[in-house]
Amino acid sequence: MTREIIDKFDLERGFEVQREQLSRYEKVLKPEIFLRLKQFCDKKNDELKESYNPSHTGNGYLVFRGSDIDMFVQNNLMLNNRHFKED
């Protein structure tokens, strides 16, 4: 990755990616399960904001997003697919 691409992936862009991903999960998870995921993301976001250092580039990579969210759903929220909305 070039330095320019890393520099552009700032904290706000990381949060934007997270919001997009949460929006997709909201459509398929039961409301109470989605709420647990959202609360966990909010907690991680608060922790990140407390330790935020604007002099570091690429801080968006520190946001809980992407495969982090996918693995959280798979490992912590799924039990025999009972957490997904019925079609």
Instruction: Please report the pLDDT score of residue 67 as a whole number.
Output: 94
Cα-based torsion angle of the residue sequence 40, 41, 42, 44 in order, rounded to the nearest 10 degrees: 90
> What average pLDDT is seen over the chain?
83
| Per-residue DSSP letter, 76 | I
For residues 21-48, give the mean pLDDT. Answer: 93
Residue 43 identity: K
Tell me the C-alpha distance between 5 and 78, whole Å. 35
Those residues whose C-beta lies under 8 Å from the C-beta of residue 83, and which sit 6 or more positions away, are 29, 30, 33, 77
Q: What is the dihedral of CA 13, 5, 57, 69, to 10 degrees?
A: 40
pLDDT mean over 17-33: 94
Domain ranges of the chain: 3-77
The rounded distance, in Å, linking the Cα atoms of 62 and 58 is 8
23 or 12, higher pLDDT: 23
Band of residue 53 on the pLDDT scale cut at 50, 70, 90: confident
Q: Is the pLDDT at 63 greater than 90, yes or no?
A: yes
